Amino acid sequence: MNLCCITVPIRAMFFLLLLMLVSGIDRTSSCWAADRPNVLFLICDDLNCDIGCYGHAQVKTPNIDALANRGVRFANAHCQYPLCGPSRASFMAGWYPDQTLIHRNAIHIRERAPNVVTMSQHFRAADYFATRIGKIYHYNVPLHIGTGGHDDPYSWNKTINPRGRDVIDQDQVITLRPGQYGGTLSWLAAEGTDAEQTDGIAAAETVAQLKHHADNDENFFLAVGLYRPHTPYVAPKKYFDMYPLDQINVPTVPKDYPQSLPAPAAKSISRKKEQLNLDPEVAKQAIQAYYASISFADAQLGLILDALQETGLDKNTIVLFTSDHGYHMGEHGHYQKTTLFENATHVPLVIAGPGVQAGQVAETMAEMVDFYPTLSELAGLPKPAATSGISLVPALQDSSNVVRESALTQFENGYSLRTADFRFTQWGKDGSDGAELYDHRQDPAEMNNLAGDPAYAATQQQLEKQLRMRISQAGESPAGNRRTTQEIDRQVQSKR
């Protein structure tokens, strides 16, 4: 077990002093009272909604389900980009990807948005102690496990980078592409205990931090990023035993299905050649491993949530649980992420704690950019400047409240709008590369593209108008980030 603890550079403290002035935070205001709530931000990597509280009959997630029973579960939360790096930069900044200018992995947030005030920075400026454990910003998995990855040091007072035997045992991993583990289907039913795995170490470190905060009079923003169920799907064997192969169902699609899609959409489900026309027995093994990884991650979340309760911190701590985007496990004939279908955009979202109703389900559309203003309002912090999200607090107080009518997701040159009843996607900002329209009232699996159907002409026209408006709003430069991607790229090139 190797742990790397990193403290923030001293120069960041000067930045924070400036941030306090810019944010207008007054240390004499009521938000500095000792009873203001803490924040526990929990995120899994590559987790879709195949979990118990979202109605999956097979996957066992008792701890996530218990959290949902004491908070509000959002039935319609969606990511802004179905890829780790852009999505994580987006929700930490509270900006859309066309505002952060991050549309791929392996980019530090300040390469594109040098003056951004991130979510945890906003809390740091209000005298919260911000700690990161594991993956919050982008990491190459498993390559960067145990390192800082593409982290933002200005976002934290303290960072902890767990590294377990899942990294050491890589030579035992089954993979569809030899030598690759994170970018393709790969898995391992591991020997040993939960505590030896990276996420098991992360859970133990989180428990230690909670006990420390319980003994000290300081507010905290504790962000914990688990690596599972990201590939390689590694979990102790006992979790694999929970899902016998003969009980695994593999989704099937008609052979001519891709022909019903615009070319960019068809490309998005065929980008991984080794995963096309996957042998059903291999697919069952991959799905089993994915489910096992979910249940393993849930067990680690249980350790954390138990410690929160045992320390008494649950009474004054806001808990937000989510993932960075959705995930396909054979739906549309595709595995993993990077599509504009429901499977890749839909994320689990549960919020619990002070000021939140218990055991409720909010049907309102929600976006991940909403995390920043929501947590700020719940904590009584000043409204963050230049964020693009909307506070979900009205839905936390009354789950029948509609905060958003639609959710926006983009990928490459495609933009997708999800409303309560429909999904409309167009490729190219003007739709020149094709369109998709799905009626969720009749086709929740999004297999019947209705774009161009005369019976839906009025609906498509209305959704096209809404999507154009959302694209325009999501592309407006927020304060402090008024450079274009091209301008930044030219500056980077000039320094080489």
Per-residue confidence in pLDDT tens, the chain, 496 aa:
444 443 444 344 444 444 444 444 443 333 343 589 999 999 999 999 999 999 999 999 999 999 999 999 999 999 999 999 999 999 999 999 999 999 999 999 999 999 999 999 999 999 999 999 999 999 999 999 999 999 999 999 999 999 999 999 999 999 999 999 999 999 999 999 999 999 999 999 999 999 999 999 899 999 999 999 999 999 999 999 999 999 999 999 999 999 999 999 999 999 999 999 899 999 999 999 999 999 999 999 999 999 999 999 999 999 999 999 999 999 999 999 999 999 999 999 999 999 999 999 999 999 999 999 999 999 999 988 889 999 999 999 999 999 999 999 999 999 999 999 999 999 997 899 999 999 999 999 999 999 999 999 999 999 999 999 999 999 998 865 655 445 544 554 554 4
Domain ranges within the chain, ordered by starting residue: 4-26+35-405
pTM of the model: 0.91
Say what the pLDDT of residue 194 is: 98
CATH code given to domain 4-26+35-405: 3.40.720.10
Rounded CA separation 96/191 (Å):
41
Asked if 151 and 137 touch (Cβ cutoff 8 Å), the reply is yes
Say what the pLDDT of residue 27 is: 38
Which residue has tokens 């205990």?
193
CA atoms within 13 A on the CB side of 72: 25
Rounded CA separation 214/223 (Å):
16
Asked if 122 and 165 touch (Cβ cutoff 8 Å), the reply is no
Q: What is the DSSP letter of 276?
A: T
Rounded CA separation 331/327 (Å):
9
Report DSSP letters for 362-415, one per residue: EEEEEEGGGHHHHHHHHHTPPPPTT------HHHHH-TT----SEEEEEETTEE
Say what the pLDDT of residue 6 is: 39
